[in-house]
Amino acid sequence: MALIATDHTGFTVSDLDRSVEWYTNLLGAGPLFRKRSDDDYMGRMIGYSDCAIEYAYFQLPGDTMLELIEYERPASAEVDMETSNLGNGHLCLLVDDLHAEFERLRSMAPFRSEAPVEITAGVNRGGWGAYLRDPDGITVQMMQVPPDRQIG
């Protein structure tokens, strides 16, 4: 077996309408598509009989996508979204000007720091980073890499 690419990363959300609006503002573009599914194969693949979901896909840089999923059946339950909890993940987006993005997003997203944080060690030394939360508490990291780090 050889892994050939990453297709998408998915997050379960409580209100797809709200999340589509939020991620449209974050990413600067709306979803590529939005669909509802109660197909038998979907439930079997996910592991839920009688599954019904609505989902939206956003294009991300690097030829991958972000999938947001709202479950109609089975009902979703809230979990503790604290970043340090086992199993919690995050989405990291690279930006060319983190300070400008921080100001643009400040009114719509709770950031974990009062301002972008300078990265003082490691491969991204000289860059900037910040963590924020979406409406469901999902962590999104934004990072501006240092000028000497080549991307892509």
Residue 3: inside a domain: no
pLDDT 10s digits, 58-115: 999 988 999 999 999 999 999 999 999 999 999 999 999 999 999 999 999 999 999 9
123, amino acid identity: V
Helix (H, G, I), strand (E, B) or coil at 105: helix
Residue 151: inside a domain: no
Q: What is the Cα 74 distance to its own chain's centre?
A: 22
Residue 79: inside a domain: no
Residue 82: inside a domain: no
5 CB neighbour count, 10 Å cutoff: 7
| Same domain flag for 59 and 15 | yes
Residue-level pLDDT at 148: 86
Task: Tell me the average pLDDT across 105-126.
Answer: 95
The CATH number covering residue 127 comes to 3.10.180.10
pTM here?
0.92
- 134: containing domain: 90-144
| Same domain flag for 65 and 94 | no
Provide the domain count of the chain. Answer: 2
Q: Residue for token digits 């930006």?
A: 95
Q: How does residue 152 score in pLDDT terms, banded at 50, 70 and 90?
A: low
Residue 106: inside a domain: yes
Residue 108: inside a domain: yes
The rounded percent of the chain whose pLDDT value lies above 70 is: 99
Residue 83: inside a domain: no
